[in-house]
């Protein structure tokens, strides 16, 4: 009797850190693909140099989130930071997740251990956050070095990037549980590329006609861009709270759906 309880207890104790085991597994796996990990940072940085500084010199100053004019490179940098958090989280939780789920059968192997479906979903989301945190931290340091940060509020840009990553990671896994084949992943690009280009990342929302502005304001990436831009320029807005709430709800709902769906998919 006591032995049975002890075994049960031990099982539960091991279970408690389950999500972190998934994170540990990903860390180990990526040690062999460190180049693929490190170069993930290149894309936003190169965009910053090319569009922010190269083209930015031709733009000059434009109005910031609070209306005060700021140089274009200071305008586009937080937009790229938000987009990088989105892209990183989505890549990890869609393409990589699908490969592990469908082809590598990584999750079947995980569930043969004391890990539970919830651990898998949470673990992958935490991993996406860690990855996003490292990328956005490095990006913010680059912004400081290049003199593109105008306020101490920018310290909060990293937690904000994590919130963006959380929202897209939750939604990403949830969406992936509905994917049937690689062809369905065209929908991922179909959602990501237009948001990357048009969610006020490269130019202010005032460039659009009113009707389009409303649509852009509803996109998830716009929430992230708005928060990051207010923080790094120091032109704070109260609407940032709404933006943050939007992202938090999106991530939580996504994770909920993902866990429920995975329960069906992985434990028939």
Partner 1 sequence: MSTPPALRVVEKEWVAWRRLWKASVFQATVAPLLFLAAMGLGLGDLVNKGSGGVDGMPYLVFVAPGLMAATTMMQAAGESLWPVLGGVKWMRTYHAAVATPVGAGELFAGHVLWTCLRVLLSATVFLIVAAILGGVPSLWGILAIPAAVLGASVFAAALNGYAVTQESDVPFAVIMRIGLFPLFLFSGTFFPTSRLPDWLQPVSWFSPLWHTVELCRAATTGTAPSAGSVVGHVTFLVACLALGCWWGVRRFTQALTS
> What φ, ψ does residue 68 adopt, rounded to 5°?
-75, 140
Closest contact distance (angstroms) between CB of 246 and partner 1 is 23
Closest contact distance (angstroms) between CB of 240 and partner 1 is 23
Closest contact distance (angstroms) between CB of 251 and partner 1 is 26
Distance in angstroms (rounded) separating the CA atoms of residues 86 and 149: 21
Let me know: does 114 contact 22? Beta carbons within 8 Å. no
Let me know: does 220 contact 246? Beta carbons within 8 Å. yes
Structure tokens at 112: 């043969």
For partner 1, the binding residues in 85-144 under the rule CB under 8 A are none
- Closest Cα to residue 124, out of 191, 179, 167, 170? 170
Does residue number 268 form part of the binding site for partner 1 (CB under 8 A)?
A: no
Structure tokens at 61: 């100053």
CA 9, distance to chain mean position in Å, is: 35
Does residue number 238 form part of the binding site for partner 1 (CB under 8 A)?
A: no
Instruction: Compute how many residues bind partner 1; rule: CB under 8 A.
Output: 32
Kindly indicate which of the ranges 39-47, 134-142, 148-156, 227-235 contains the residues binding partner 1, using the contact rule CB under 8 A.
39-47
Site string for partner 1, 170-189 (x = CB under 8 A): -------------x--x--x
Let me know: does 160 contact 245? Beta carbons within 8 Å. no
- Closest Cα to residue 122, out of 259, 261, 265, 264? 259
C-alpha torsion 197→202→204→208, nearest 10: -40
Let me know: does 247 contact 166? Beta carbons within 8 Å. yes
Closest contact distance (angstroms) between CB of 184 and partner 1 is 10
| Member of 190, 241, 249, 264 binding partner 1 (CB under 8 A) | 190
Does residue number 58 form part of the binding site for partner 1 (CB under 8 A)?
A: yes
Kindly indicate which of the ranges 104-112, 149-157, 201-209, 247-255 contains the residues binding partner 1, using the contact rule CB under 8 A.
201-209
Does residue number 54 form part of the binding site for partner 1 (CB under 8 A)?
A: yes
Residues of the shown chain interacting with partner 1 in the complex, contacts defined by CB under 8 A: 33, 35-36, 39-40, 42-43, 46-47, 49-51, 54-55, 57-62, 72, 183, 186, 189-190, 193-194, 197-198, 202-203, 207
């Amino acid at each position: 009797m006591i032995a049975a309880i002890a075994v049960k207890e031990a099982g539960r104790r091991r279970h408690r850190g389950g999500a972190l085991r998934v994170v540990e597994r990903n860390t180990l796996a990526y040690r062999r693909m460190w180049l693929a990990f490190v170069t993930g940072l290149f894309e936003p940085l190169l965009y910053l140099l090319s569009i922010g500084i190269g083209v930015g010199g031709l733009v000059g100053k434009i109005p910031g989130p609070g209306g005060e004019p700021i140089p274009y490179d200071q305008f586009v940098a937080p937009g790229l930071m938000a987009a990088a958090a989105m892209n990183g989280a989505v890549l990890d939780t869609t393409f990589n997740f699908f490969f592990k789920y469908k082809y590598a059968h990584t999750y079947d192997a995980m569930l043969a251990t004391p890990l539970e479906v919830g651990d898998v979903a949470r673990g992958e989301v935490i991993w996406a956050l860690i990855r996003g945190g490292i990328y956005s931290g490095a990006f913010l340091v680059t912004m400081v070095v290049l003199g593109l940060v105008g306020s101490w509020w920018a310290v909060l840009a990293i937690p904000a990037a994590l919130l963006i990553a959380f929202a897209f990671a939750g939604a990403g896994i949830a969406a992936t549980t509905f994917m049937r084949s690689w062809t369905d992943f065209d929908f991922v690009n179909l959602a990501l590329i237009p948001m990357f280009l048009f969610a006020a990342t490269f130019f202010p929302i005032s460039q659009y006609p009113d009707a389009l502005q409303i649509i852009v304001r509803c996109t998830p990436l716009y929430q992230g861009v708005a928060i990051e831009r207010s923080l790094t320029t120091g032109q704070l807005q109260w609407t940032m709270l709404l933006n943050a709430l939007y992202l938090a709800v999106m991530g939580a709902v996504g994770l909920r759906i993902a866990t429920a769906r995975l329960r069906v998919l992985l434990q028939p």
